[in-house]
Amino acid sequence: MSSRKGRVLVAMSGGVDSSVTAALLLEEGFEVIGATLQLQSCGEAAFGAGCGGAAGPAQAGRVSRMLGIPHHGFDCRKQFEQAVLNYCWQEYSRGRTPNPCIVCNEKFKFGFLLEAASSLGVSQIATGHYARIERTGQGGVQLKRGLDRNKDQSYFLFALNARQLEAALLPIGELSKAEVRAQAYRLGLPNAGQEESQDACFAADHVCYAEILRQRFQGEARAGEVVDGQGRVLGHHQGFHHFTIGQRKGLGIALGQRAWVKAIHPESASVVLCRDEGELLAQGLVASNVTWSPSVVLPRPIPCSVQIRYRHQPVPAVVEPLGNGRVRVAFVRPVRAVTPGQATVFYDGDILLGGGWIEKSF
């Protein structure tokens, strides 16, 4: 098969977004090869079965046959268990709240996929993420928000390296979700009417998910005290891995009024509650393991907008480099529930400058 634009390996979950991605690239003149990464065993519903659900691989194969493209399956379950699931449990066991989707994107949706492409003699990869990659005049690349701000997924991609970005195509980043759905119907894709999948790859809520991970990795459930800001004991818990900063429901004790998790202290296994939601506000944070866009040089503090979780409204801030991959972020206005273990991502308008992992707030 000849191709005007070259060969591209497309990550196909079986969902509408990745299916439209493959179909549009095919229409543009690429030689498209489908790839589905098996990350979980069928039936492991507590973790989800990847972004396409349990029926994803079969649906991806069906779409590939309809498009007339080859389709490959890759068994990544062992690698996924160690790189993503074990990482999540280690974070929970340290009193932190992990973000598995960012790690999965870096190591599998783009990392493993790029290596698989190389093994097939393919130099380009594509996914159905709502984000954009812009080729700069100097031969570099930069990541930008998707045009549909309600679906923008650039936050989940901050850790991608230059090689991954240079090889990647994100064709639906220029489209809205409604436009992608319309394309699916126009193309006659069998999953055009498929319901929207979860934003995150893991559908279980934080409490149940953390406990299932603890059992899976035979971790210790460190019971302890639930206290207020003055150290007064309010009750007891069966493991601080059940909690996350800002949590209000499922606290396991009745106080007669609303309360939120303000802090988790793994060294003493205590969970601190506050009755005033204002106590969750922070002036800034410190982040580590920061990844910068290939086009960014950071010799001094820079003003930017900062996002501390996927659905968080970005706030103006100043990011100051501390050395050794760490930064200090000072918000222009206080931010609620800054959570260790989550990602903080920095933007200049639509351009993603970089991001890192939250260590602490102040």
Q: What angle separates helix 16-27 from helix 177-187, to the nearest 10 degrees?
A: 60
Interval 169-217: pLDDT, tens: 999 999 999 999 999 999 999 999 887 765 445 555 555 799 999 999 9
Interval 115-150: pLDDT, tens: 999 999 999 999 999 999 998 877 789 999 999 999
Reported in sequence order, the residue ranges of 224-314 that DSSP labels E, i.e. its strands, are 224-227, 233-237, 260-265, 270-274, 281-292, 302-307
Q: Which of 88, 201, 274, 304 is catalytic?
A: 201
Reported in sequence order, the residue ranges of 107-213 that DSSP labels E, i.e. its strands, are 124-126, 131-135, 141-145, 168-169
- The answer to whether 104 is a known catalytic residue is yes
pLDDT computed for residue 3 by the predictor: 55
pLDDT computed for residue 49 by the predictor: 41
pLDDT computed for residue 199 by the predictor: 45
Q: Where are the domains of the chain?
A: 7-187, 220-275, 281-361
Q: Is 71 helix (H, G, I), strand (E, B) or coil?
A: strand
Domain spanning 281-361 has what CATH number?
2.40.30.10
Contacts of 239 (CB under 8 A, 6+ apart): 211, 214, 221, 222, 223
Q: Which of 101, 104, 208, 304 is catalytic?
A: 104
For tokens 């993603």, the residue is 352
| Fold match, 7-187 / 281-361 | no
Q: According to the CATH classification, is domain 220-275 in 2.30.30.280? A: yes
Residues of the chain short of pLDDT 50, as ranges, are 1-2, 45-50, 199-200
Look at strands 141-145 and 131-135 and give their pairing. antiparallel
281 beta partners: 336
Sheet holding 224-227, edge to edge: 233-237, 224-227, 270-274, 260-265
Name the CATH architecture for the domain at 7-187: 3-Layer(aba) Sandwich (3.40)
pLDDT computed for residue 48 by the predictor: 39
Give the predicted TM-score (pTM) of the model.
0.92
